[in-house]
Every structure is written in structure tokens, then in C-alpha cells.
Amino acid sequence: MSKTLLFIIVFVVLLVFYILLSLRRMKNIPLVPSNEKIKILDDRNFKHQIKNGKVLVDFWAAWCAPCRAMAPVLNELADTLDGTAVIGKLDVDKNRETAAAFKIRGIPTMILFKNGREVERFVGVKSKDFLLKKIREA
């Protein structure tokens, strides 16, 4: 067996081990309760809640580890905004109609609305500073 092939095998084994370890850690991320400033959205109230001002909507699910990782970031962001924008959360498992209407394919997906219109869309885990900057730019 050549040294190159051996190196590739070792690299792949280590990579698989790292991925499995990372997935195990992500499954252990606790479900953090939402800040009282975050609006819980559903299929019935969605259009009404996004129609005025800036609203950042987090499309999420309880089983999604990256979504659970975003919860503390969104809680902090809600405290920082002081009325300049609103944070909303929509559980895609419980509100499939709205999730389908916005073609949500991966979560977490956050959509920034201004007066009911989509301004920007973010997929994946984002930092508080990144989201704050995007909200201020809108």
C-alpha cells in the first residue's frame, strides 16, 4: 500500500470521526425558551404580524440543532432592538402552509420583512452582529 493511499484512508477516518463527534454535540444543544419580546407566529397570524415595520422571522423546528443554537442569539437580538424591529419565530412543523408559501427548504432560515415584503433571506446559523447590521440596513 502506498503512503498516499494510507494518508487518504487516515484522513477520511479522522474526518468521519470529527463529523460524528460534531453531530453528537449538536444533538445535546438544549432547547432555550424564547425571550418574551419574540413573537410566536403561526399560519393564522403571520401576515398580520409582518405587515408593519421590520420583522425578522426565524423559520425553525424543535428537532433542528442549528435552530436551537440560534435561540440564544435571537433572544439577545430581541433585547438589543428596542422597538426598531421585531423578532418572530415560526415552527415549520406546526405551520407547514406558511413555510411552504415562502419555499423554506432548509432550517434555520431567517427572512427579514419590511412592511410585509421580503427584504433579505439568511440560511444557517448567523451571529447577532450580522443580523443587527442587516436589520439596520433594511
Could you give the residue numbers annotated as active site?
64, 67
Least Cα distance to 104 among 57, 62, 51, 70 occurs for: 57
Q: 18 by DSSP, 3-state: which? A: helix
Tell me how far apart the alpha carbons of residues 95 and 46 are, in angstroms, rounded to a whole number.
10
Per-residue cell: 27: 444533538
| DSSP at 35 | P
Asked, as a colleague might, if the bond just before 108 is cis with ω within 30 of 0, I would say yes
Residue 86 — φ and ψ, nearest 5°?
Answer: -120, 145
